[in-house]
Amino acid sequence: MASNFQISSFKTKDNLHLKLYGDFDVNSAQELTNTLLMHGAGYWDIFIDTNNLETIHPFGRDTLQMNLRNFKKQLNNLFFIGANKHKIAPN
């Protein structure tokens, strides 16, 4: 995992909000996937805020997109928001 990558979370009623910070690499992608699988159940929507990502490594983005395709049924209520959403969100 990139040494400066962090995920913070907060909940509002039926929604989970995850804010990503730092550099996003393959280990960061795996950490985000694990966080979604472990804590994402039971929420109406999950919002992933990309505003505070500094560098998005292509292999990290590709790993996240592959993971999300593999877990599509469990994670069908994801919304990427923020300035970097188009750099990281699945196609």
* 39 part of a folded domain: yes
Which is nearest to 55 in space by CA: 22, 29, 88? 22
* 1 part of a folded domain: no
> Which residues, 6+ apart, have CB-to-CB distance to 76 below 8 Å?
none
pLDDT tens, 22-40?
A: 999 999 999 999 999 888 8
Which residue range is the domain that position 75 belongs to?
Answer: 6-88
CATH number at residue 71: 3.30.750.24
For residue 81, name the pLDDT band (cuts at 50, 70, 90): very high
Number of domains in the chain: 1
pLDDT at 63: 94
**Phi then psi for 12, rounded to 5 degrees?**
-130, 120
pTM given for the model: 0.90
